[in-house]
Chain A
Amino acid sequence: MQHLDPGTLSMAALDEPLDTDSQVHLDGCDACASEVRELNGVVLAARGDITAAPLESPDSQVWAAIHQELGLQPALSTDPLTSPSPVQDATPVSELSQLRAEKRTFTPKFLIAAVTAGVLTGAGAVWAVQQVRAEAAPDLVAQSQLDPLAGFTAGGSASVFTSDDGVRTLQITVTEDQADGYQEVWLIAPDLQQMYSLGVIGGGTSSLVIPDNVDLVAFPIVDVSDEPLDGDPLHSGVSVLRGTLEAEVG
Chain B
Amino acid sequence: MTPPGHEWTPQRDVEFSAGDEHALALAYRSFAPLIFTVALRSLGDRSAAADVTQEVFVRAWRFRSGYSPDAGSLPAWLLGISRNLVSDAQAARQKIDSLVQRVHTVGGPREQERGADEIESVANRVVLNSELELLGEPQQSILRLAFYEDLTHQQISSRLDLPLGTVKSHIRRSLTQLRSRLETWNATP
Binding site for B on A (CB under 8 A): 6-7, 9-11, 13-14, 16, 38-39, 41-43, 45-49, 52-59, 61-63, 65-66, 69-70, 72-73, 76, 80-81, 86-90, 93-94, 97-98, 101, 104-107, 150-151, 180-181, 226-230, 232, 236-238
Task: Give residues in B with beta carbon < 8 Å to A.
Answer: 1, 3, 6-7, 9, 11-12, 21-26, 28-29, 32-34, 36-37, 40, 49-50, 53-54, 57-58, 61-62, 121, 124-126, 128-130, 132, 134-139, 143-144, 146-148, 152-153, 162-166, 168-179, 182
**Smallest distance from the beta carbon of A247 to chain B beta carbons, Å?**
31
Tell whether A47 pairs with B166 under 8 Å between CB atoms, given A69-B58, A97-B9: no
Given the known interface contacts A63-B28, A228-B166, the answer about A97 and B172 at a Cβ–Cβ threshold of 8 Å is no
Beta-carbon contact of B177 and A151 below 8 Å: yes
Given contacts A52-B148, A72-B24, A89-B22, are A45 and B125 in contact (CB under 8 A)? yes
Residues from chain A with Cβ under 8 Å of B37 in the complex:
55-56
The residues of A that contact B139 with a CB separation of less than 8 Å are: 150
**Known A89-B22, A236-B165, A237-B162: A58·B6 in contact at CB below 8 Å:** no
Whole-angstrom distance between the alpha carbons of A137 and B66 in the complex? 62
How far apart are A76's CB and chain B's nearest CB, in angstroms?
5
A-B contact pairs, 30 of them (CB 8 A): A6-B176, A7-B172, A9-B172, A10-B172, A14-B146, A39-B175, A41-B182, A43-B175, A45-B124, A49-B126, A49-B128, A49-B129, A55-B36, A55-B126, A55-B130, A56-B36, A62-B32, A62-B36, A63-B28, A66-B54, A80-B29, A87-B22, A94-B7, A97-B7, A151-B176, A180-B168, A181-B165, A181-B169, A228-B166, A229-B165
From B12, which residue of chain A is reached at the shortest CB distance? A90
Taking a contact as CB atoms under 8 Å apart, the answer to whether B61 and A86 are in contact is: no
Instruction: Give the CA-CA distance A180 to B170 in the complex, in Å.
Output: 10
Chain B residue nearest to A40 (CB atoms) is B175
- Which B-chain residue is minimally distant from A71 (CB atoms)? B21
CB–CB A80/B182 < 8 A: no
Q: Chain B interface mostly helix, strand, loop or mixed?
A: helix
Inter-chain contacts of A48 with B (CB < 8 A): 121, 124-125
- Contact between A104 and B49 (Cβ–Cβ < 8 Å)? no
Residues of chain A within 8 A of B6, CB atoms compared? 94, 97-98, 101
Whether the pair B23, A90 counts as a contact (CB closer than 8 A) is: yes
Q: Quick one: given A45-B124, A151-B177, A181-B165, are A81 and B28 in contact (CB under 8 Å)?
A: yes
Taking CB atoms, residues of chain A closer than 8 Å to B179 are: 38-39, 41-42
In the assembled complex, how far is the CB of residue B135 from the closest CB belonging to chain A, in whole angstroms?
7
B25 touches A46 (CB 8 A): no
Residue of B nearest to A66 (CB): B57
- Of all chain B residues, which has the CB nearest A82? B29
Given A70-B58, A97-B6: A47 touches B165 (CB 8 Å cut-off): no
Are A56 and B33 closer than 8 Å at their CB atoms? yes
Give the residues in chain B near A11, CB-CB below 8 Å: 153, 168, 171
- Cβ 8 A contact of A16, one of B50, B153, B166, B169: B153
Task: Report the bound CA distance from A236 to B162 in whole Å.
Answer: 8
Most B CB contacts (10 A, CB to CB) among A38, A45, A47, A88 go to A45
A50's closest neighbor in chain B, by CB?
B148
Distance (Å) between the CB of A67 and the closest chain B CB?
9
Chain A residue numbers with a CB within 8 Å of B138 are 237
Sorted from nearest, which 5 A-B pairs have the closest CB atoms?
A228-B165, A105-B136, A80-B29, A49-B125, A10-B172
Instruction: Report the minimum CB–CB distance from B10 to chain A (whole Å).
Output: 11
B175 contacts A72, CB within 8 Å? no
Query: A180-B169, A228-B164 provided; 17 other pairs, C-beta below 8 A?
Result: A6-B172, A7-B169, A42-B128, A42-B179, A53-B129, A56-B37, A57-B36, A58-B49, A66-B57, A76-B24, A80-B25, A87-B22, A87-B25, A98-B6, A101-B134, A151-B176, A232-B163
Contacts of B177 in A (CB 8 A): 150-151
CA distance A150 to B174 in the complex (A): 9
Residues of A within 8 A of B162 (CB): 237
